[in-house]
Every structure is written in structure tokens, then in C-alpha cells.
Amino acid sequence: MNTNAEASELDVEDVGELKYSRTVDDLPGPKGLPFFGNQLQMRGQQWHLKLAKFIREFGPIYRLNAFGIPIVVVSDRAAISSLLKERPDGFERNRGLRARMNELKVGGVFTAEGDDWRKQRKLVMGGLSFDVIHNFFPTMGDMTERMLQRWKAALASGKPVDLRRDLKALALDIIVGIAMGYDLGVVNDDDNQLQHNLDNLLERLASRGTALYPYWHHFKLPVDHAADKSATDVEQTVLGFITSTRERLKQQPHLRDKPANMLEAMIVASEDPDSDFTDQELISNAIASVVGGIDTTANSIAWMINMLAKNPDAAAKLTAEVDAVLGDAPLSREWEQMKQLPYLDAVHNETQRLRSATPFLGFISKNDSVILDTFIPKGMVIFVPTNFGDGLDDAHFPQHELFQPERWIFEQKPHRDDDPSRKVFPFGGGARLCPGRFLALTEIKVVVSMIMRNFELEFDTGAPPVLQVMNFFMGPSAVPVRLKSRV
């Protein structure tokens, strides 16, 4: 790989050697402490903001150090795009992250590499295909309407609506419904154990990600025992889904020819004598699909609601668009309506620019390479931002700190260099583009359009500031927004 701005077309194989003028040691970066390096600066639930601050101070490529291990942070758009396209052959997911996820039984396609990743990716993508999501759309509407009725009942009785909790509950219902074919009804179950266990897993994954030392390999604290129990409980729940699904496939053999959800597709593949898809891969991918489909989508919607409540002009424009598309209907029941909400798309894009659920991605270089004229040796840890580079740069987004959905609306398709969608990477990119992207976008449109059609948003100006909290995925510390019925 060679991502030099001056020689972006250089074919390294033809040249036979890498061209560069500096090494990682030559890069600028924040001063660290003896022994610890910058590790203490990378701890806590807002470490991503510290890395973003360093981008402003040290430029598009800088170095960090954690206990003597060098880390490179790359925020140049062209370099990031090239790096993402080189996965999985040129760069792989951070091994430390993969190990932590596998320890808590959250693996599957998220932690797989090489041929294992290709095999698992194909099955996961099949379970989240256009046809599967299209066929699930009516059920998604039913689940969303169930939440609408919950909120209406709460407002009628004078009870507060816990938006943060309910959005996560709905996301869990939807991902389990489409991935495994089961309706858990979590929206109306205020103490659902599966949701509690998943929250516990993500919190422990985040905590271990910034730990100074992997102490849990030698002794475990009560929180680690609790996380282990949550992992086992989640695995047992998924095993129950698998057992029931296998029985359903026996009773309805026609489903083997046309699986209705991701779990059915994976079970059929795993039972093929010519397949090397194991039961453990089946379990891991079922768990990973649930973990990956909850907080990312729920947090995105929560941030959108916060942003809209604080920007009433944008909220009014979105409400007008939703009213025109949905008419008298309380929520979308027609698939074609998903294509008729350009301002909602713009609101989502602008929210992702400001508050990406995955603000940084971490990789390991699999080969010697050159990035921005810098020699990157094999095994180097690399972090890339999904939105903190060009996304928060006035040169690309004037008054970048402002929420302005209009940035994403054009009378005609912008030139490649001016296209804002090429300047941020909320779903990653390349071959490892988030497999749940289309499902997330559909779910966001259904849920947010329902909210705007039925409610006015009132931001609680007396609430504490909403913080960006990294809990494996990045979400708001709160959603201090009150819903007010429009009808």
C-alpha cells in the first residue's frame, strides 16, 4: 500500500520498493509519560475526544505511544479511503480488540480474518440482504407502532418517556426479529434480562479496552464475573433460538431453500456436509449480529433526537417532509416511502458527521507499507477517525460545529472532491463496510419519521450537558428531550 499524496498512482509492485521520506519516529505527537507513554491519555469514556484534539494539534498523521508500543493516527481522507479498501488483505482488525471480544463470546464476522472472514461475511450479508429487510419491513412497522402506543399511553397518564431506554429496546426487538425470527417484545418489558446482559457485555468490553493491564487473565473482580455470567447467559439465549429454529426447519423443510432470516441461513449452511461452518461460528455470529445492531442504531437515533430538539428549524423542516410523505398515517407502512425522505437522510448524515457511533477504527498493518510519505512497518497499530478528520474541519464543512442538514442536499450530484459523503466514514468502507448498514438506515427512517409525525420535541434546557460517552460504541450520556403529542 502506498498512500502518498504526491504519488497516489504509484504501483509499489512495479517499482519493487517502497518510497518514503520519514518513519514513525519522525512523526509529531503528544508528549507522554515515562513507561506509560500516552496510555493514560487514552483511558476513560472520552478518549476519542482526546485523539480528535490531537488531530487538530499535530495534523493528518501523528504518533502515540502506549507502554512503548507505537501507534499511528491517520486522519487524511484519501489515506483512510485507501486503507479501508486494503482490508482485509493489507490491514486487519486490532488483535487486542479481537481477543477481548472473543473472551466475552462476541466474535463471528467482527473478529474473523482472511478466509474465515470471507466465509462468514457471505452468510451474514445474505441474512441482511435487501430482500430480507424488505420482507421484514411490515414487522418492523408493527414493532415501531408498539413503541408509539407505549409512548402515547405514558403521555396520557402523565408518565415520563425514557427515550434512551426505549430506543435501545426497540433496536433489540428489531435485530432479534430480523436476524433470528423472534419477537421478544422488549419494548414493553422494562426489566428484560437479555438487554441487561448485552449492556453489561458492552460496558466490560469498553472498560477492558482502555485498561492499563489485562488483570482479568490472572484474577477477576466481581464486575468480571458478572460479565462472564452475562456472556454465558447471552450464549444460552442464542442457543435456545438455534434449537427452536432447527426444529422449525425440520417441520418446514421448504425454508431450507429460501431462509427467512440470518439464523436460518446460517443453520442451513452449517448443516451442509460440504460446509466447514462450525456451530461455534454459528453461535458467535448470532451473538455478534445482536450486539452490533443495538447500540449503533439506538445511539444514532438518540443523537438525532437531541440534535433536532436543539435545532427547532431543522425539526420543523423534517416534520413538514414527514407529514407530506406519511399523510394521515402515524408511521410508514409503505416501502417506497423510504425513498421519499431526503431531508431525513440529510439529518442522519449530519448527525453522523458530528456524532458517529464508532468515531475511531483500529487496525494492524499486515505488511510494510507507506502512508502519507511515512514508512509503516508490519504489525503497526493504526487508528483512523470516521468523522474527526475532514468531518470537523472548516475547510470542508464551514462552521463545522453547527448542525446544518442542508449541507447534504444538492440540486445535482456534487463533484467527487466536493461530495460530503466521501469525507466521513460512519459505516467504515471497503470490503468490510458495516454489514448492517442498510438495516440501520431503514430502521432509522421508520423510527424517526414516526417520532416526527406524532410528537413535538422539547429539549430540557435545565438538564446537564449531554456528553459523548464511549461505552464500546459512542452514545449520548442522556436524551433530555420531552415528547409532546401533536394530536
* Averaged pLDDT in 10-residue chunks for the chain of 487 residues: 45 59 96 91 89 94 93 94 90 86 88 85 82 92 97 95 95 94 94 93 88 91 95 94 93 87 84 79 87 92 97 97 97 96 96 93 93 95 90 89 94 80 87 89 97 97 92 92 91
Integer CA distances (angstroms), 83 to 86, 97, 98, 443, in order? 5, 19, 19, 29
C-alpha span between 54 and 184 (Å, rounded): 44
The backbone torsions φ and ψ at residue 58, rounded to the nearest 5 degrees and listed phi first, read -115, -5
Contacts of 137 (CB under 8 A, 6+ apart): 335, 442, 446
Q: What pLDDT is recorded for position 3?
A: 53
Q: Which residue has the cell 508490519?
A: 378
Q: Contact 425/357 with Cβ under 8 angstroms?
A: no
CA dist., res. 195 & res. 168, Å (int): 8
Q: What is the tens place of the pLDDT at every residue in 176-203?
A: 999 999 999 999 999 999 999 999 999 9
d(CA 111, CA 117): 8
Please state, in angstroms and rounded to a whole number, the distance separating the CA atoms of residues 92 and 454.
44
- 136-179, pLDDT tens digit by residue? 999 999 999 999 999 999 999 999 999 999 999 999 999 999 99
Q: What is the pLDDT of residue 232?
A: 95
Of the CA atoms within 13 Å of residue 64, those in its CB half-sphere come to: 24
Residue 412 has a pLDDT of 76
- Rounded CA gap, 116 and 148, in Å? 41
Q: Which CATH architecture has domain 5-485?
A: Orthogonal Bundle (1.10)
Q: What is the reported pLDDT for 70?
A: 94
Give me the sign of the Cα torsion angle 240, 245, 248, 253.
negative
Instruction: Supply 126's cell numbers.
Output: 445474505
Residue 260: closest CA among 177, 336, 331: 177
Per domain, the residue ranges of the chain are 5-485
d(CA 185, CA 386): 33
Ramachandran angles phi, psi of 221, nearest 5°: -85, 170
**Beta carbons of 19 and 370 less than 8 angstroms apart:** yes
The residues with which 363 forms a beta bridge, in sequence order, are 93, 382
How far is it, in rounded angstroms, from Cα 232 to Cα 216?
A: 17
* Residue 10: predicted pLDDT: 36
pTM over 0.75: yes
Beta bridge pairs of residue 474: 470
For the chain, the straight-line distance linking the first and the last C-alpha, in angstroms and rounded, comes to 58
